[in-house]
Amino acid sequence: MFNQKFGKTIKLFLMDADPDGRMICELSNWTGKAYRIPRGKVKDCNNRDELKSTAVYLLFGRAESATAKPKVYIGEAENAYSRLVQHVSEKEFWNESVVFISKDENLNKAHIKYLESRLFEIATSADRYELQNGNTPTRSSISEADQAEMEEFIEYIKMLVNTMGFKVFEPLIKADNGAVVTADCLYINAARGANAKGRRTSDGLVVLKNSEIATSTVPSFPNSFNALRNDLLEGGIVVAVEDKLLFQQDYLFSSPSAAAAVVMGRSANGLVEWKDINGKDLKSIEAQEIQKANIIL
């Protein structure tokens, strides 16, 4: 089957001539349109008539600590502007919103209820954000043809939300059929019980669930990594199981070295500490990947 992916053109319009202000985001050959609206700019949208139509929207809030998840609320509205105004007065956690409308006004109430339910489901599965919805949204019953159209709409929503920097719908690790491919894994097996498995991602390095960290740290362990280690323990992300300290979930670190330091309980160069199943370190793996790419070019 022909399954080649083609590039996409995304057009961004800075409504306030300010990258931190309001933004309109459009995708080539798509009838949808996204508005990114900071909380403090909602009041300036009163004259945007298309925001007074049916829409599905997301409210984003920052994480409260280094180990906490950022927050998101997923909703739908028949008048997006009025609903955002309502949320400004009623919901404190959020600082940015993203609103999706249809340029051809082809989204009805059943459509946006379906979109809200599916987006909630996808965000729950990805488990990157702490969902602020009090209840699970109910899914409307729509025709098979409308479902196909809405699922395509969702793919574009995911693309644009990710492009804006909100990875609410992206799992930490993308893998076929949800399986982790052993050949792609990296390992650390070191002193004081450190025995971890990880995966590289575009965001950093993910240490996988059930990985073991060192049961103690060296006296020279940097304060910043020690604070992160303590946050992981206090937050229940790493817990004591018998004589081991185990990750209870996949956890994303900003770099291989940060992951290695927490796992090993000492300063560490992640590029040499993380190794594949054959013992090749990450530095060599990346050098080989670049060499192969240059040969292809």
> What is the domain partition of the chain in residue ranges?
10-163, 176-296
Per-residue pLDDT at 106: 84
Question: Could you give the 3-state DSSP secondary structure of residue 57?
Answer: strand
Identify the band that residue 1 occupies on the pLDDT scale cut at 50, 70 and 90: very low
Instruction: Record the tokens describing residue 104, joined without a space.
Output: 């051809």
Confidence of residue 2 (pLDDT cuts 50, 70, 90): very low
Q: What pLDDT is recorded for position 176? A: 52
Residue with tokens 């719908």: 169
Amino acid at 245: L
Q: What's the token pair of residue 93?
A: 């956690």
- Cα dist. 183→106, 148, 173, 201, 210 in Å? 46, 35, 14, 14, 18
Q: What is the pLDDT of residue 4?
A: 55
When mean pLDDT is compared across 65-69, 236-240, 288-292, 293-297, the lowest value belongs to 293-297
Query: Contact, 57 vs 112, CB < 8 A?
Result: no
Q: Tens of pLDDT along 22-50? A: 999 999 889 999 999 999 999 999 999 99
Contacts of 44 (CB under 8 A, 6+ apart): 16, 22
Q: Are 53 and 80 in contact (CB under 8 A)?
A: yes
d(CA 50, CA 44): 14
- pLDDT for the residue numbered 177: 47
pLDDT > 90? residue 113 = yes
**Residue 237 pLDDT:** 95
pLDDT digits (tens, 9 = 90+) for 56-65: 999 999 999 8
Which tokens belong to 153? 């709409």
pLDDT, position 175: 59
**pLDDT (0 to 100) of residue 66:** 82
| Closest-CA residue to 173 (of 202, 213, 212) | 202
Residue type, 49: D
Cβ atoms of 113 and 87 closer than 8 Å: no
Per-residue pLDDT tens digits for 263-282: 999 999 999 999 999 999 99
Determine contact, residues 133/94, Cβ cutoff 8 Å.
Answer: no
Look up residue 286 and give its amino acid. Answer: E
Q: What is the DSSP letter of 92?
A: -
Give the integer Cα–Cα distance in Å for 88 and 91.
6
* HSE of 297, CA atoms in CB hemisphere, 13 A: 6
Q: Using only the alpha carbons of the chain, give its radius of gyration.
A: 22
The rounded distance, in Å, linking the Cα atoms of 112 and 77 is: 8
C-alpha span between 206 and 258 (Å, rounded): 11
For the segment 107-133, the average pLDDT, to the nearest whole number, is 96
pLDDT band at 7 (very low <50, low <70, confident <90, very high): confident
Q: What is the mean pLDDT of residues 144-152?
A: 96
Q: Do β-strands 195-201 and 130-131 pair in parallel, antiparallel, or remain unpaired?
A: unpaired
* Nearest C-alpha neighbor of 66 from the set 251, 184, 263, 231: 231
Count the alpha carbons within 13 Å of 140 in the hemisphere toward its beta carbon: 16
